[in-house]
Amino acid sequence: MANELNSTKPYLLRALYEWCVDNGFTPYLQVVVDKNTVVPKEYIKNGEIVLNIGPLASNKLRIGNEQIEFQARFGGVARDLFVPITAVAAIYAKENGQGMSFEPGPTDESAGAVRGPTIVAGSDGAADAKASKRSEQDAERPDPPPAKPSPSGRSALRRVK
């Protein structure tokens, strides 16, 4: 009987969340919404949603090995959110775009192939200028991911080596 290893994805998500917060950045999650994802439907665009999970925008955040649970306000109304770890496509700092993308879907191990994360490069400073101009009220609303869509319609992120 072979030992099954835990997915590295939740550990990487927790580490990048901590890195963002420790450096004063706002951690954002890009989520591919499926039937198991509980998020406000009116904020879903093209089957995805971007969520601000920073300490000022979320409450009772718990990044577990199977799911992410927290409360967040949308239009001033507190909502309970539930995101399966498998639905997370990326985590990144809003201010500079640095973070990591993942292949959403079944866990990496159950997909039959090991899919490693992609490290996302930072911006050229334009995001910093934009972030400094945003008001406190705007910070509650999720921004679109910093990556430009690829011809296939999916977000395209750059690899940094």
pLDDT in 10s for each residue of the chain, 161 residues? 557 888 999 999 999 999 999 999 999 999 999 999 999 999 999 999 999 999 999 999 999 999 999 999 999 999 999 999 999 999 999 999 999 999 876 543 333 333 445 555 554 443 433 333 333 334 444 444 444 444 555 555 555 54
Model-level pTM? 0.67
30 φ/ψ angles, rounded to the nearest 5 degrees = -100, 125
Q: What is the pLDDT of residue 150?
A: 47
Closest CA to 88 of 72, 112, 64, 71: 64
At 3 the pLDDT is 73
HSE, CB side, 13 Å, CA atoms: give it for residue 58: 22
DSSP 135: -
Helix ranges (H only) for 3-112 are 9-22
The CB-side HSE value for 77 (13 A sphere, CA atoms) comes to 5
pLDDT of residue 106: 57
φ, ψ for residue 145, nearest 5 deg = -60, 155
- Position 35 scores a pLDDT of 92
- Alpha helices in 67-156, H assignment, sequence order: 126-133
Report domain extents, the chain.
26-132
Q: Give the right CATH number for 26-132 from 1.20.1730.10, 2.30.30.220, 3.40.50.720, 2.60.120.10.
A: 2.30.30.220
